[in-house]
Amino acid sequence: MRGGLIVALCCAASVWADWPCFRGTPLQEGVATALPEQLDVLWKIATKDSFEATAAIFRDTVYLGGMDEHLYALHLADGKEKWKVKIGSPMKASPAVAEIAFPAEKDTQDAKRICVFVGDQDGIFRCLQASDGKPVWELKTNAEIISSPNVVGGKVLFGSYDEHLYCLEAATGKLVWKFKTDGPINSAPAVAEGRVFVAGCDAILRIVDLAEGKEVGTVELGSQAGASAAVSGNMLYVGNMDRSVLGIDWKAGKVVWEYQHPRKNQAFYSSPAVAEGFVVVGGRDRLVHGIDARTGEYRWEFQTRGKVDSSPVISGGRVYVGSSDGNLYVLDLKTGRKLADFPLGSPILASPAVSGGRLVIGTQDGLVFCLGARQ
């Protein structure tokens, strides 16, 4: 393993200290607070099946769903198990964690509880207590759930393979609205300025009003989308299965640019990260792509030895991303130059989660790694 990284502070306004959902925030920019300049493996745990989902980190706890049908809560400090719950179905969707206000009895204040939200391959979406994993409520959809949830303003949003985007009351699971698309939904819904953005197998970006659940705009994507969108100001970025990454002015409802690699043409299942004028995304072509966020022009590429479905995270001028070749790579954001790599022993489909100066990621052989600075 090679480290020695000098990491600058990240100044993006949308960075949160926690990593409570798939891409860190409802904007899904994939940007985190800075990691230490020297990274080492601080701990790892082994389970009986693979991890495809990305961890959520809330305060001092890591929450992660596995293909072994268990939802885990681990101490961020040392990886020791707080609890694990057998869900009864594999989880490809990442969990989301949020503090929720629950209606209290008369003449008392609303009670706040931290909850974990996650969907599974049986199409059941659950809310559990973060303290002990006990169930709070569940809702059955009509197909598997790969879409990772986002929690905004007391509402939880996610998509299902039953072709619907769901909006539920986070405290009760009561349906607020559901919106019908024309295909299964892989992506996590992004949320910005009272709008929900979802790209799916109908090859259309849907823009839905958060309050009413009514469609207020659409943009043709040219092909099915297996990745989630990132929103930065008026711009939205998403890759498709045809070989393109699109820069979309979502307020104008039009594609501003379309990026395709000058030589290789394969699908994008990785969700983009956006910071400092760059869009960074992994491809089935075994490359990590650096794209100019304003123009869509090629800026750099980094070659791995396997497909890159892992979604990158930008932190302190560095890019952190896993590959199916079994390595976690650290790249310079401006040039794509490799700064370090960490061989984790098996393919990586999950994406990094970053919080508290630590990076957590799972692998296909059922290991969970935590990287940070040794004391």
Q: Give dist(CA 37, CA 8) in Å, integer.
A: 9
Confidence label for 234 from pLDDT (cuts 50, 70 and 90): very high
Domain borders along the chain are 31-372
Whether 11 shows a pLDDT value over 90: the answer reads no
- Residue/partner pairs of 136-139 with CB below 8 Å, 24 or more apart: 136/173, 137/172, 137/173, 138/173, 139/166, 139/168, 139/173, 139/175
| pLDDT tens, residue by residue, 185-226 | 999 999 999 999 999 899 999 999 999 999 999 999 999 998
At residue 6, the pLDDT reads: 27
Residue 109 is predicted with a pLDDT of: 64
- Would the pLDDT of 14 be above 50? no
Question: What are the tens digits of pLDDT across the range 237-276?
Answer: 999 999 999 999 999 999 999 999 988 889 999 999 999 9
Tens digit of each residue's pLDDT (9 = 90 or more) over 22-51: 999 999 999 998 899 899 999 999 999 999
C-alpha R_g of the chain: 19
Q: Inform me whether the pLDDT recorded for 3 exceeds 60.
A: no
Q: Does domain 31-372 correspond to CATH entry 2.130.10.10?
A: yes
Question: Which percentage of the chain shows pLDDT scores above 70?
Answer: 94
Please name the residues in contact with 108: beta carbons below 8 A apart, sequence gap of 6 or more. Answer: none
C-alpha distances (whole Å) from 169 to each of 95, 145, 166, 300 are 16, 18, 10, 43
Residue range 350-363, pLDDT digits in tens? 999 999 999 999 99
Does residue 346 carry a pLDDT above 70? yes
How far, in Å, CA of 369 to CA of 2, rounded? Answer: 16
Residue 200: the pLDDT is 87
pLDDT digits 0-9 by tens, 289-324: 999 999 999 999 999 999 999 999 999 999 999 999
The pLDDT assigned to 12 comes to: 36
